[in-house]
Structures are given as C-alpha cells and as structure tokens.
Structure 1
Amino acid sequence: MTVGVVVGLVAGLAAGLLLVALVPAVRARVTSAAGRSGRRLGMGRLAIPDDQQAGLGRRTIDSLRAGVVVLDADDQPVRVNPAARAMGLLRTGPTPGSIAAHPLIRTLAGQVRRTGVRREIELDLPRGRDSAGENPLGVHLRAMAIGGGHVAVEAVDVTESHRLARVRRDFVANVSHELKTPIGALQLLAEALLDATEPAGAAAPDLSEDLVAARRFAERIQHESTRLGRLVQELLELTRLQGAEPQPPPEPVAVDWVVAEVVDRTRTSAAARRIEVEVTGERGLTVYGSDTQLATAVSNLVENAINYSGEDTTVRIATRADDEHVEIAVTDQGIGIAPTDVDRIFERFYRADQARSRDTGGTGLGLAIVKHIASNHGGRVEVASTLGGGSTFTLRLPARPPDDLLATLPPAGIESGPAELRQV
C-alpha cells in the first residue's frame, strides 16, 4: 500500500466526519429539491474531488491535539502529525535524513499486526536524552490495524494526570512510613499495660473495678492499633502496586504452591470461625508473575470469604485452566453482595456493610489490592454474588508468559532510556 492510499484512507475518515456535520444542511436541500439532490449525492457521498478529500484528511489530522503516527508494513512512518512530533515519538532513521518511529511505537504496531487486536497502554517516556527520567512524558497509546499491514497509533498526553498520581502515591507512602513508628509504640504500650493488669495466678484476688476498666481499655487500644497497623501496611502495599516501585520480573509460579500458602495463612482465622477451607480443581497449573503478590491476592479473597461467612460453613478454592487463562475461584456461603454494590467493591475504602466491616476489622483495601495485583499480572478479577446466597470471586490470569514490550524491542534500542509501562 502506497503513501497515497494511506492518505486516501485518512481522507475518507475526514470526509465521513464532514458528512455528519453537514447532515442538517443536506436534509434541507433534499427536502427542497429531492430529485436533483438525490442524483447529486448518490449513495450518501459528498461531491468532493479525491484531491480535496486528501487535503481535508491531512488538515484534520494535523489539527488534532492527539499525536497520530501511521506505520506501513515495514514500520516506516508514512503519516505523522505535528502533535506526534512535539511528543518526541520520532527518532533519527538508519540513513542520513531519514526518520523512524520510537521503538515502543514500532513494537506496539508489531503486536497489533501479529494478533489483529487493538492494543492500548499508558507509559512514561523520558524526554530527549534525559535517561534519569526526572520529568517524563506520560502518554496513552492506542494502536489499531487499518489494512495492508498499516497500523495507526494515537498518542494522548497524560503527563499531568501521571504527575498527580505520583504525588499522591508519594504522599501516601511517606505518611504511611511515618505512621508505622507511633503505631508500633502503641501496640507495645498496650501489651505492657495488659501484662501489668494480668492477675498473678488462679489464687490471686479478683481485680478491682479500676484495673478491670484499665484492662478493658488496654485490650481495645491493642485491637485498634493492630487494625491501624494493618491499614498502614495495606496502604504501603497498594502504593507499591500502583507504580511507586517497579514490578519484579515475571517468573513461573506454581498455582499449587499459591493455594497451599493461602491455606496456611488463613488456617487460624478459619479455625476460629469453624470454617473449612476446601481445595478442588486441576493440579500442576502455572502462571507468570510474582509468587508473593499472587499469594497475597488469593489470601485477601479467602480472608474476605471467611470474614463474611457464618460459622460451620465452607470456603472453596477451585482452580481450572484453558488454553489462554488460569482461574482461581474462591466461593463462600456468606451474606452475599447487593447488585448495587457489586460494581464498587473493588474501590479503595468502599464497604458494602460498614458495621460488618468494623466488626471484622477490615480496612476496605483488600479487594483493591487484589484488583491491582490482577491488573499488574495482565489478568482481572471478577465477582458473581447473590444477596444472602454467597459469592464467588474469580482471579483470571494469563496461562502463558506476559508479552513484555521491552523484551521485544528492535535491535536499534531506545535512545531516550527505559519507560515505565502500565497495561490498560
């Protein structure tokens, strides 16, 4: 496909947009002179010469605030608008005077050609040769095939939203770190107070009312400080998952190990409520990512199931796989979730039942952590629930190694340094 054909495709898109804008005028013309207008318009096409359509297409793309890069089957840029140039999405080509698209753009286009599926990512690109990346350019890239091996890539500047997200993450991380010390001191003081008010033995006289009250307050302080410590720890964990720290390189993780680790972690809380944790499904499955993060995600789901289930019930962990995904489903016989709450339960600090959450000591962050872990591993978490009839949370993860953009870069490399990637 030649450059002229690509320009023609873009011009056709612009002509279609122009047709939508002219619908009222065209309708009025048809009403006043239906026969003549119908013959002139034919099948809804405007009577605009092809060269004028091409010019409209070029001017339309050049006027966009979003960057647009069109690559041919050989990854050569055949159309680039000024916004894309301003974002630094072009590089010096292999021959003098030639240009090439940024390696990440070429890699994204290659993935679209191989899979035939539109791809979207958000990433931080260091500006120019600033390899330290102190002031990166945040872009949202959307790539799609337009025929003949050509791929169009749209880039939207999201630098400000990324900056605000980094500021928020840094603030939460710093405050959480500062809170860890006083919370630890509160826990130690509560334990010391409990030890000081504990009877010396079975034959010791009953405690006075003042000591009974002091002991009750100390137990409450210990409980609340433990809950606050858990909240701070989960805030730090969520901040790391949201990009405050780079993700560890993905490694093969045995699902059997994850399930066994989860059962071990939740054994005490399950026994306290006389809840049986049952494991069923396929064995020998493998996913790719961080074993500790995946164990944390499934543990959060099981702990959540235990907290919201009645005594003498069963929580089931089931595993299954197909060609594309591995599923870890956690099913309980608990109180269920109302339909109005299902879409919000993965939000930070959202609780469907505030009173119940206070009783269980929940922080409102467990499911948000599960969602981010699933997203960082290229998967997702789903929920099916009936109010009063229990819930099933399913963690769905890729069954094959992740398609790492940086691992498939062309030999030319990246001139501007590494980029931070987030799959959308």
Structure 2
Amino acid sequence: MDTVLGIALLLIALAVGVAAGLLLSRIGRSGSPERAADPTPSKPIEGGRKIDTEDERGGKSGLKGLGRKSLDSLRVGVVVLDGEDQPVLVNPAARAMGLLRSGGAPGTIAAHPILRTLAGQVRRTGVRREVELDLPRGRAGSASAPLGLHLRAVALNSTHVAVEAADVTESHRLARVRRDFVANVSHELKTPIGALQLLAEALLDATELPETPPEERSEDLIAARRFAERIHHESARMGRLVNELLELTRLQGAEPLPTPEPVALDWVIAEVVDRTRTTSSAKNIEVVYTGPKGATVYGSDSQVATAVTNLVENAIAYSGEDTRVALTMRQDEDWIEIDVTDQGIGIAPHDVDRIFERFYRADQARSRSTGGTGLGLAIVKHIATNHGGRVAVSSTLGGGSTFTLRLPARPPESPLPLPAAIEIESGAAGLPSA
C-alpha cells in the first residue's frame, strides 16, 4: 500500500505542479482565478517540436488541457484553497470523497473543516502537513463505514494551499480487523493464563523442599519443584505478553486517545525508578538521573511513564551486571528530550532501523534469556507518535546504546479529528472542476 501511495503522490505532485503554475499565473495576471486570461507560453516544446499556441489557448489539447485531464484522471483527490480557504480548484476524485460541503449562504460551497484546518496550519508554519484519519460518512449515527483518508497539505505560495487526499479506507478496515482480533484473543487468553499462574503457585507451595541436606531430598520432589518454577516463569511471561498486546492495541487506535494534560516529569522519573528497582537491584545496575527539575510535557501521565519505563527496562535487560543506566533530560521552548543510555551489548547497524518493530529481536537467543516479549519498544514508538513526538536510537555494537524520547513541551494544537456529528456530504455542485 505504501508503494501505491508513493506512486500516487508522485503523480499528484506532477499534476498539481502543472495546474498550480497555471493557476498562479492566472492569479498574478488578474488577481482572480475566475477571471484570469489563459497563459500562453512563448515557445512551448514537446518532443523537440513547437506546440501550436492556438491549441494551448483553447485549453483542451495544449498544456492547460493536459494538466486538467491529468488531475481529472487521478484517483487521488486534489483541492486548492485560496487565502480565505475557499476552494478554487477541485478534481472529481475530491468531489467523490465528499471533501466539499454546503457553504454558509444558500447555493454556496466550502471545503471540509479538516482541509481548512490543515491549510491554516501550513500557512502558519510554512511546513507541509500529513495526517491519516477516519471521517464519518452520511449523517450522524449512520451505519456507513468511515472514510479513511491520507491527507497531505502543501503551500503553493503565501496564500494558496494544495491538499491531496488518498483513499486508504481498505487498509484502515484491515487494521481495525487485526486490532479487534488481537484484542479479543488477548482478552480470552487472560483467564486461562491467570489460572495457570495460580496453579503454578500452588505447585510451588506443594513442592516446597524440606529443610534437609540435598542428598536426602527426593529426586522426584526436586524435579517437580523445578518444573513448577518453570511453569510459573513461563505463565508470568505469557501474562506480560497478553497485557502488552492489549496495551499496543489501545495505542494503535482501538480506544480514543486521552485529552493531553500537563505531565510532571519529576513524578515520571520517580515512578520509573520505583518500577525498575527490583530488576536493576538483581543485576546490581545503578539507575541515575541528570537533568532539570520541574519540567513538564503534555499528554498522558501513565503512557509517558510506561514509555520511559520500557526504555529503562530494555537497557537493564541488555546490560551486564555492575553497570549503570543513565537518564538525561534536555529541554527548550518546544521540546523535551529524555535520553536512556546503557553500557550493554549495543545494536548492530542493520538492526537499528527495525528495532521498534513488533516482536523484532536483534539477538533471538539472548532475547529469550531476558524474558522479554518483543513489544516494549513498539509500545514506546506508538506512545511517542500519539504524543506528537518521536523516539530514536544511536548505538555501537558492544559499546552500549542511547534511546532518545522526544515529547512536546507545550500544549498541542487543536486535534484534527472532528466530532462524530460532523457530516460529510457526498458532493456539491457549482464549483468549477479542475
């Protein structure tokens, strides 16, 4: 799907480039795209020969006609908004996606609020914006499946913004099916896994070794004790896997994201140290913190604590005994970065790009010995993304690793997804098509 989307975006970029050049030329000559005269290149060349400028002025068989036909033939929707967020160029695919709505006055039309929000952000920041979201179709409460869109907004000049819309409904549907399946299976597994853990604990109590010299203990009792300990260990590991699968499912969109709130990082650091105290003490690893006090990020306190905890636990798991794990914080007006540095085995260069994938293990044998699930770093990545940040890693094989969690230090902008009551119309008439 990523390949198809990439090809579609390349085609749309070429088509929008042609159409935008014509549009801006019309705006520059007359101040209004509706009344502008058609541009006429002095010496247009195609295939080594001159194109008849009369054909080009006709707008159907020349460059202008080619640009419009290119936009009309695309399966990706294109909407160009002017400085007042009025649509001045729309292709049929955008109409079919319902990206136009009835305007405030009778007989007028307007771009969907999502498009206007994206365009406003692009004008303010000067940076292109991309977002994937589900929009309701039909009236509120309709049983119709939501429309999945990948939106990309790019500034054409200081006022005009082009928005590309690719239909990704099917990929979103498949992702929902996968999330629902994982969530349902995980919920069903929690009961038998909990029963196994209780039975394993009962076996441990029943096979408690007597206070006698080892040579006087029954071999059967010793074997039963060893098996009971193994059952307890594996059932606990399976329980962690199920819990992390459920957590990852929630982070991937099965549940709505909580409203961003100020999160005190002093509390987060204290919580992380407390959660990892047992595992770090078992290997005599010191967890130290260096950074400012009173720092604040915006998001979910529980998710931020989970992300940092996962990074520290990962550092402890892949570090040797009698070493140190360092937490370091840096901040500026917009971002706060938390570094987690270990003195462990490091990561090979060919594994760095895949380390945040679900269940990916750089060293299969060693990963099994640590008892990890392979989901901890994937959870960190989704938490960072949901908070508008990112996570990165730098590592040297045999020389330790540094994971950097970057989170916003100021309140986020208004979220793009609209309430379910927002209605998307199937199309509108009266606007000149591309």
Residue in 2 aligned with 1:415? 423
1:145 aligns to 2:155 (yes or no): yes
Question: 1-side partners of 2:388 and 2:243: how far apart?
Answer: 24
Question: 1-side partners of 2:245 and 2:290: how far apart?
Answer: 32
Residue in 2 aligned with 1:378? 388
Q: Which gives a bigger RCO, structure 1 or 2 (Cα 8 Å, sep 6+)?
A: 2
1:73 aligns to 2:83 (yes or no): yes
Q: CA deviation at 1:415?
A: 2.8
> Aligned ranges for residues 274-423 of structure 1 at < 5 Å?
274-406=284-416, 414-416=422-424
Residue in 1 aligned with 2:242? 232
Residue in 2 aligned with 1:17? none
Question: 2-side partners of 1:332 and 1:119: how far apart?
Answer: 35
Question: Greater shift after overlay, 177-186 or 126-135?
Answer: 126-135
The structure-2 alpha-carbon separation of the partners of 1:163 and 1:141, relative to structure 1 and needing over 3 Å to count, comes to same
Question: 2-side partners of 1:296 and 1:365: how far apart?
Answer: 12
Q: Is the 8 A contact 1:319 1:326 kept in 2?
A: yes
User: Secondary structure in 2 aligned to 1:381?
Assistant: strand
Question: 2-side partners of 1:212 and 1:159: how far apart?
Answer: 58
Aligned residues: 385
Q: CA deviation at 1:406?
A: 4.5
Residue in 2 aligned with 1:172? 182
The answer for unaligned runs of 5 or more in structure 2 is 1-18, 27-44, 426-434
Q: Is the 8 A contact 1:10 1:58 kept in 2?
A: no
Question: Greater shift after overlay, 130-139 or 61-70?
Answer: 130-139
Q: CA deviation at 1:281?
A: 1.5
Q: Is the 8 A contact 1:119 1:144 kept in 2?
A: yes
Q: Is the 8 A contact 1:8 1:53 kept in 2?
A: no
Question: Greater shift after overlay, 329-338 or 394-403?
Answer: 394-403
Question: 2-side partners of 1:298 and 1:47: how far apart?
Answer: 66
Percent identity of equivalent pairs: 72
Find 1:121's aligned residue among 124, 131, 143.
131
The structure-2 alpha-carbon separation of the partners of 1:317 and 1:132, relative to structure 1 and needing over 3 Å to count, comes to farther
Residue in 1 aligned with 2:10? none
> Aligned ranges for residues 190-269 of structure 1 at < 5 Å?
190-199=200-209, 201=211, 206-269=216-279
Q: CA deviation at 1:256?
A: 1.4
Residue in 2 aligned with 1:102? 112
The one-character-per-residue Cα deviations of 1:332-382 (angstroms, maximum 9, x if unpaired) are: 000000001101110100000111111110111000000000000000001
Q: CA deviation at 1:170?
A: 0.2
Question: 2-side partners of 1:203 and 1:357: how far apart?
Answer: 36
Length-normalised TM-score, structure 1:
0.86
Q: Is the 8 A contact 2:139 2:423 kept in 1?
A: yes
Q: Is the 8 A contact 1:8 1:54 kept in 2?
A: yes
Residue in 1 aligned with 2:5? none
Length-normalised TM-score, structure 2:
0.84
Q: Is the 8 A contact 1:102 1:414 kept in 2?
A: no
Q: CA deviation at 1:276?
A: 0.3
> Aligned ranges for residues 146-165 of structure 1 at < 5 Å?
146-165=156-175
Q: CA deviation at 1:128?
A: 1.5
The answer for unaligned runs of 5 or more in structure 1 is 13-21, 27-36, 418-424
Q: CA deviation at 1:79?
A: 1.1
Question: 1-side partners of 2:345 and 2:171: how far apart?
Answer: 38
Q: Is the 8 A contact 2:137 2:423 kept in 1?
A: no
1:9 aligns to 2:23 (yes or no): yes
Question: 1-side partners of 2:25 and 2:91: how far apart?
Answer: 14
Q: Is the 8 A contact 2:140 2:422 kept in 1?
A: no
1:49 aligns to 2:60 (yes or no): no
